[in-house]
Amino acid sequence: MNRAETRARVKRKPSSAKSTRMSRFALAFGGLFAVIGLICLTVAWLPVWNDYRHGRQFAANGALALGMVLTKTRSSAGSVMVLGVTKEIFDYSVRYRFATSTGRKMEAEAKVTPEQWGLLEERGPIKVRYLADDPETTHISGQQSSRSWMERLIFSLVGGGFAAFGGLTLFLTLKNDKPGR
């Protein structure tokens, strides 16, 4: 046997139990990171999809009702400090009641912009759009999405990073575990 055959034989050594365990660990680790990343991305973008889907449903099957504002609520959502100046952040919400075209009484709550909150009065009128076949799905003027853009950005970055790292780990592990390598 010459030297080239000896080197080739050494390089094709069968995989040991330790490398098999490491390979399984890398697959589990990569898979876990990829799943966590996909969950974070779903949490970030599912509300956007629901807003889009509801918008299309309101256009096709929406009904209007005149309701009454039951309560207006302003609650602290924390504070932000910029250049040494602290500013309070508030969430504005309204609770309202309306009757559907079939006479069914419905109550709902929505987060609204500060401008819309200032225009509304308790016990005052409010226009409510609802889905005729699902009156629990409503929308009022000035209503905000259920998720803020900051939450969406954070979940997207974390989810994208986890999914990319997990996917890359899975890819490299599977690529290196191919027979004949």
User: Could you tell me if residue 177 is inside a domain?
Assistant: no
Give the count of domains, the chain. Answer: 1
User: Could you tell me if residue 13 is inside a domain?
Assistant: no
User: Could you tell me if residue 87 is inside a domain?
Assistant: yes
128 is in which domain, residue-wise?
A: 66-147
Burial group, residue 92, by CB count within 10 angstroms (0-12, 13-18, 19+)? buried
Residues 89-109 have pLDDT tens digits of 888 999 999 999 999 999 999
User: Could you tell me if residue 161 is inside a domain?
Assistant: no
Residue 14 has what pLDDT?
Answer: 52
Residues 32-66 have pLDDT tens digits of 999 999 999 998 888 888 888 888 888 888 899 99
CA–CA gap between residue 48 and residue 138 (Å, rounded):
16
- % the chain with pLDDT above 70: 87
Residue 176 has what pLDDT?
Answer: 84
Residue 29 clears pLDDT 80, i.e. is over it: yes
The answer to whether the CB of 106 falls within 8 A of the CB of 100 is yes
CATH of the domain at 121: 2.40.50
CA–CA gap between residue 152 and residue 157 (Å, rounded):
9
Using alpha carbons only, how large is the chain's radius of gyration in Å? 28
